[in-house]
Chain A
Amino acid sequence: MLEVTGLNGWYGPAHILFDVDLTVGPGEVVALLGRNGAGKSTTFRAVVGLLAKRSGRVRFAGRDISDLPTHDIARAGLGYVPEDRRIFTELTVAENLEVGRQPARAGAATWTPERLFELFPNLGAMRTRPGGRMSGGEQQMLTIARTLMGNPKLVLLDEPSEGLAPKIVEEMATAILAMKGEGVSVVLSEQNLHFARLISDRAIIIERGRVRFDGTMAELEARPEVRDAYLAV
């Protein structure tokens, strides 16, 4: 589904990503793990074309999207949910969803506001509320729902559990598993190993811009020294 090879990225003169490789299969949930500042968000931004300077190849759903502008990458079916949520605060819930709407896509689940309100019942109760007057958890739900309106084949979720109450984190896990159930591949960046373990098939650990581990969750469990070296705070 997604195949990234030799990805390098820069912020101004600072070299951040070093030859990052990662692959995601259809319907797979992959956790991109790493400490704060390891390069998780930068990897996502580089993949969707929001990083000014980058190199390397990105193949998605059988085509090379390395040089496409951001909106064409999104239209190819690659959804991106940024870490700081970036809800349109002036727009209502329904209008936020409208911004994300794209035509139905062959080979991917088709989402409508009604279906999304089933997945996130809280949102259905506040369709006309401006995005700026929602709680952090509700905003996080809305930003995922908004990306799903584009009927993506794969979603990059940047720190979906960050700053959320435990109960909301549970709802988030349910929602991600529901997406997987619809055949949507998910890559989520996380610092919360417990949350990642609940929902992911595979883990990739990144540290100082380099991939240090790539394997199944079970393999990671079997190697506590890897966890201690790259994830323990």
Chain B
Amino acid sequence: MSFLLVQFLTGLAGACSLFLVASGLSIIFGVTRIVNFAHGAFYMAGAYVAYSLTTRFSGGLGFWGGLVAAALVVAALGALIEIVLLRRIYHAPELFQLLATFGVTLIFQDLSVMIWGPEDLVGRRAPGLQGAVDVFGQAVPLYDLFLIVLGPTVLGLLWLLFHRTRFGILVRAATQDRDMVAALGVNQKWLFTAVFGLGIFLAALGGALQLPRDAVSHTMDLRIIVEVFVVVVVGGLGSVTGAFVAALLVSELNAFGILVLPQISLVLVFAVMAVVLVVRPFGLFGKAEGPARPAVAATIRPWRVFGPRERLAVAAAVGLAALLPLVAGNYLLAVAAELLIFALFAASLQFLMSTGGLVSFGHAAYFGLGGYGAAFASKAFGLPMAGAVAAGIGLAATGAALFGWFCVRLSGVYFAMLTLAFAQIAWSVAFQWTAVTGGDNGLLGIWPPAWASSPRVFYLVALAAAVAGIAALRILVFSPFGYGLRAVRDSTLRAESIGLDRIRMQWAAFTLAGAVAGLAGALFAFLKGSVFPDNLGIPLSVDGLVMVLLGGVETVSGAVVGALVFRTLTILLMSYTDASKLVLGLLIVVLVVAFPRGIVGSLSEFLARRQDRAATARAGALKPAE
């Protein structure tokens, strides 16, 4: 009994930091409508800076002052990033905002390793709170009791701030109607910067407060951000009270989940989240959002089927690619097969994003499931490669159908966060269920049969699969189903009033895209001869998004170009620099700010404009001079 009480108190103490970080994310979202993926990075930065300050300055003042000063320093850095980066993308589609802030996360990860080194750092104990008190015969750390009191105190202070100060009233007003606040003479720019700074202050303070409890490491950012997403999705984005209640709930579930399901405690938390979302799609304390801004802007140049000239060009390109084995060596062929597999993966994600209007942040889950499905089928059941690939597609499609059923009920940022959370579940199952998946060691020895084992043949297999898969997706875009998908994407109400069922169509699209990603994943497993949890991790999902963005999200064929360029760049980066995340993060930020249309988008825009100019010039030449 007393053991359960202590476990309960541990849960309460753990809720404090979670609440601070989640409330910061919620406040920022409320006003700026940006889901700050970099929030975990600021939490981590708070912990690192606090570590440096508290080890530099001794005594109680050095420690407590160090924690607060660290939060202030990081908040100032956050405000700077808001001014330099976010101000440029407030009106951009959500995808761009999520990606840009994710880019910031990547930059922070590499920078923190450069500054503080790769090892975990253990910080100082809190002066005056080092001991433990006896609660029914069990020792409870004093610091935990301090955190238990601090959480509700911060909640109370935030309430006072939002209800008793002019700044707070302006923030609440701007949360509802930004334009109206501007029309009343309030400078939104600085209000946004101040709100962002406040949110980052809370995140960094949350990180700094973890110092006496936990070692500081450069992986703590992703760990907390997934939990925080769960908290804000359960509590309702934009609600501080919701963040508080949900932080308690999630933290207690974690504390007791360890006792019940030690292997996969995360699953319990995600199961609760799934239930909450089905019952209350906008969280316990959240309110329905307006329609999401579409990822695909209304393009003036509509998509169209390839004409004879473009078909010839594509056929020529495929023909050239098929001739590659005549000139390329084994290493180059293996790399080329990998590029083709990622082109297929990116094409499936782009189908979901541009035609379906569904921006998934967890698409790698289905890539990875395809790999694991193929690996099980070939290792446990001894199926030949074709059967194993089919099994991989089957597992991926099943997973996509299961997760998708929940996801398509939501839209916009909620959809993005839920797909990311489900991908994280899939990852944690693969990582923790060692008996079946091999855990971190993965599944090895998944090789193609003798006839396909030479890189030359396998390359041709990959080429055939990629061409067939991408062609099928393209045909789908211009089929009645594709038109229907675009209709529900552009105007759900109008589409539904002519009899299209949004949820069913998007569910089908989600499952289909998952199946194609599964095909790519299964082939990837046979190419590498192995499957690891990384194959369904968040970084790979983000890589997919970057490929699509790089190629041009508004185009149908951009993903292929994006995947080829991005994957080549990554392979080069890996061999030339240690700071690949830093470079990738900067690349994402620059892409989002400067080239939101991507390679194919910019190129086709340029060509179209030249054609227009040529046409006007001809028309002008025919007209008599005025």
Contacts and interface: CB of A to CB of B under 8 A. Distances in A.
Contacts of B176: 88-91
Given A70-B179, A89-B176, A90-B176, A146 B184 contact: yes
Contacts of A82: 180, 183
Interface in B165-222: 166, 169-170, 172-173, 175-177, 179-188
A212 interface: no
Contacts of A80: 183
A149 B169 CA distance: 15
Contact of A74 (B166, B177, B183): B183
Contacts of A115: none
Contacts of A100: 184-185
28 contacts: A50-B179, A69-B182, A70-B182, A71-B182, A71-B185, A71-B188, A74-B182, A80-B183, A82-B180, A86-B177, A86-B180, A88-B180, A89-B176, A90-B172, A90-B175, A91-B169, A91-B173, A95-B169, A96-B173, A98-B166, A99-B181, A99-B184, A99-B186, A100-B184, A100-B185, A102-B185, A149-B184, A150-B185
Given A71-B187, A71-B188, A88-B177, A99 B182 contact: no
Nearest to A150: B185
Contacts of A91: 169, 172-173, 176
A74 B184 contact: yes
Contact of B184 (A50, A69, A150): A150
B488 to A, nearest CB: 22
Contacts of B175: 90
A189 B173 CA distance: 26
Given A71-B188, A88-B177, A98-B166, A50 B172 contact: no
Closest 3 CB pairs of A and B: A74-B185, A70-B182, A86-B180
Contacts of A149: 184
A34 to B, nearest CB: 22
Interface string A11-54: 00000000000000000000000000000000000001010000
Interface of B: 166, 169-170, 172-173, 175-177, 179-188
Contacts, number: 61
A86 B181 CA distance: 10
A147 interface: yes
A75 interface: yes
A48 B185 CA distance: 11
Given A71-B188, A98-B166, A48 B183 contact: yes
A149 B185 CA distance: 11
B376 to A, nearest CB: 52
A95 B165 CA distance: 10
Interface in A126-147: 146-147
Contacts of A95: 169, 172-173
Contacts of B181: 99
A103 to B, nearest CB: 10
Interface in A60-85: 69-72, 74-75, 80, 82
B27 to A, nearest CB: 14
A70 B177 contact: no
Nearest to A81: B183
B179 to A, nearest CB: 6
B54 to A, nearest CB: 40
A70 B186 CA distance: 9
Contacts of B166: 98, 101
Contacts of B182: 50, 69-71, 74
Contacts of A86: 177, 180
A25 to B, nearest CB: 23
A99 B175 CA distance: 12
Among B180, B185, B187, max chain A CB count under 10 A is at: B185
Given A50-B182, A71-B185, A100-B184, 13 more contacts: A50-B179, A50-B183, A71-B184, A71-B187, A71-B188, A72-B187, A88-B172, A88-B180, A91-B169, A96-B173, A98-B169, A99-B169, A146-B184
Nearest to A74: B185
Contacts of A71: 182-188
A102 B172 CA distance: 18
A33 B464 CA distance: 67
A147 B187 CA distance: 16
B342 to A, nearest CB: 37
* Interface hub of A48, A71, A98 (most chain B Cβ within 10 A): A71
A68 B11 CA distance: 52
A106 to B, nearest CB: 16
B312 to A, nearest CB: 34
Contacts of B187: 69, 71-72
B432 to A, nearest CB: 42
B180 A147 contact: no
Contacts of A150: 184-185
B177 A75 contact: no
A149 B186 CA distance: 13
A150 B182 CA distance: 12
A101 B172 CA distance: 15
Contacts of B184: 71, 74, 99-100, 146-147, 149-150
A210 B115 CA distance: 63
A101 B169 CA distance: 11
A70 B182 CA distance: 6
Contacts of A48: 183
A101 B181 CA distance: 11
A74 B186 CA distance: 8
B179 A99 contact: no
Given A48-B183, A80-B183, A86-B180, A99 B170 contact: yes
A150 B188 CA distance: 16
Given A86-B177, A88-B176, A70 B183 contact: yes
Nearest to B163: A95
Nearest to A85: B180
Nearest to A88: B173
Nearest to A147: B184
A77 B35 CA distance: 35
A164 B495 CA distance: 35
* Residue among A74, A86, A88, A149 with the highest chain B CB neighbour number at 10 A: A88
A88 B188 CA distance: 16
Nearest to B166: A98
A150 B183 CA distance: 10
Contacts of B183: 48, 50, 70-71, 74, 80, 82
Nearest to B165: A98
A88 B186 CA distance: 14
A159 to B, nearest CB: 16
A99 B188 contact: no
Contacts of B188: 71
Nearest to A131: B176
A102 B183 CA distance: 12
A91 B166 CA distance: 12
Most chain A beta carbons < 10 A, residue from B166, B169, B172, B179: B169
A75 B188 CA distance: 13
B260 to A, nearest CB: 39
A108 B162 CA distance: 31
A72 B189 CA distance: 12
A150 B181 CA distance: 12
Contacts of B173: 88, 91, 95-96, 99
Nearest to A151: B185
A35 to B, nearest CB: 25
A164 B465 CA distance: 66
Q: Which of B175, B180, B182 is the most central at the interface, judged by chain A CB atoms within 10 Å of its CB? A: B180
A2 to B, nearest CB: 16
